[in-house]
Amino acid sequence: MQLTLAYHPVTSIRFGAKLALDGAALTVDQEELRALVLEDPLIEAVDFVIAAPGDSLRAGPIFDIVEPRAKAPGGSPDWPGILGAPQTAGSGTTHVLRGATVTAVREDSSGDSRGATGYILEMSGAPAAGSPYGKLCHLIVVPHSQPNIAAAARQRAYRLAQLKIAVRLAQAAFSVAVASSEVFDNSDAEARPGLPRIAYIGQIFSRQRKPQADEHILYGADTDGMLPTLLHPNEWLDGALVPSYHASIGGAETYFYQNHPVTLELYRRHRAGEINFVGSVATIASANNFDRERNTRFAAHLAKWALRADGAVLTKFGGGVPHTDLSETARLLETMGVKTAVQVTDAARDHKVESALLFNFPEVDAIVCIGGNDTQWKLPQVERVIAANSGLAEILAGPLDIESHNVIGVANQQGASRLRSVVY
């Protein structure tokens, strides 16, 4: 399966009379986008705000961040299972507005361990420098949903609105010359004997929390009862996955999946002739020991026997409990002769070694620590605050003290973090 990403750089976004991409300047028509969002009767109004790198601007709580992308005819559909037919993602040509995002805020706090602020977008200062999102141009979507609707229905409306806008913006690139392109295809893996066969195993949800009704995660399904499943690497990059409505500790925005760093790095090494990138397994972290034993063995056996992997890279989703599934899958693979590398983060709030040490298997000895929970910032008051209600705007205005994990994009447990551990 071959996927071509056609890149169109965007360095500015502005409002105008019609949608257009002129060089690296994207013009958007607010009224066209508003009509698109208001097709959903659950949303009664919507506002749009533009944010640029360096702006004295803070937005939140962030629901999700999406890179504008649209499929050219002849390939897989846009967001299969959500906007399009549930066909396999990852083939054909996808036009990408590189440097732009569609960023949606929630109307209330997500109610998770991130506190009242939830995840915030910071466009200036040290937090912006520590996040990949601080250097991008954002079209911020501020939805106002109908009162007294269920949280799941409200968040489903956010998702549909955000993805529809992202597709529409990227369609502006259809008539514009492509600046550069990149082809993703691992079909030559079987024709290159002698190179190590490497697989990726990634958690996409944690059963610490039950998915909400009709929640979109994998091809529009909510992962309830999901067993580990094989995915082509292109599916991760091209619309098969979106994050849970519940904001994961350490981040997993849609933008992250679209630019999945582990998938991209394994593809880079595949092209360089260092490895054979043979495929991937999507799995979830379990809620009990029975499910854990079943799922970890299932994931390990898919990597070993279906993908015939010599080595595997593993990442986790969520808090502490998913460490168990991660480590047990890696231990099983090691006993089967498959070498593993795992990525973990220290989420312990007391900063003690014994709290951070959630597993200790001698077989699992290639562990990459990608940050902790001990970086904090004192944020100044900003000139503009973007929030869906006045109470949240007052909280976000600042000054305020905030943990790095609360600034979206700073911490990521799956390879996109800019934090790193240093031994003094």
Instruction: Give the strands of the sheet with 20-22, arranged side by side.
Output: 12-15, 25-28, 20-22
pLDDT for 361: 86
More confident residue, 196 or 115: 196
Cα radius of gyration rounded to whole Å, the chain: 21
pLDDT for 319: 73
Give me the domains of the chain, ranges plus CATH numbers.
3-181+377-402 (no CATH), 186-375 (3.40.50)
pLDDT for 287: 85
Q: Which stretch of 19-23, 189-193, 346-350 has the lowest confidence by average pLDDT?
A: 346-350
pLDDT for 264: 96
Give the separation between CA 12 and CA 21, rounded to whole angstroms: 10
Cβ contacts of 301 within 8 Å, gap of 6 or more: none
Are 93 and 72 spatial neighbours (Cβ–Cβ below 8 Å)? yes
pTM listed for this prediction: 0.94
pLDDT for 352: 63
pLDDT for 342: 92
> pLDDT tens digits, residue range 210-244?
788 789 999 999 988 899 999 999 999 999 999 98
Give the separation between CA 402 and CA 375, rounded to whole angstroms: 9
Phi, psi of 396 (to 5 degrees): -80, -20
- Cis link prior to 261 (omega < 30° from 0)? no
Amino acid (1-letter code) at residue 332: L
Position 12 confidence tier, pLDDT thresholds 50, 70, 90 = very high
Give the separation between CA 170 and CA 164, rounded to whole angstroms: 10
Alpha helices in 222-260 (DSSP H): 233-237, 254-258
Please give the average per-residue pLDDT across 193-215, as a whole number: 89
Position 395 confidence tier, pLDDT thresholds 50, 70, 90 = confident
Give the separation between CA 180 and CA 249, rounded to whole angstroms: 34
Mean pLDDT of the chain: 90
Q: How far is CA 344 from CA 113, 272, 376, 418, in A?
A: 18, 27, 20, 14
Q: Which stretch of 95-104, 247-256, 275-284 has the lowest confidence by average pLDDT?
A: 247-256
Amino acid (1-letter code) at residue 68: P
Q: How far is CA 263 from CA 63, 65, 257, 321, 381, in A?
A: 24, 19, 9, 24, 38
pLDDT for 405: 81
Q: Which stretch of 263-277, 299-313, 358-372 has the lowest confidence by average pLDDT?
A: 358-372
> pLDDT tens digits, residue range 124-154?
998 999 899 999 999 999 999 999 899 899 9
Pairing of strands 276-285, 229-231: antiparallel
Are 54 and 60 spatial neighbours (Cβ–Cβ below 8 Å)? no
Q: Is the pLDDT of residue 108 over 90?
A: no
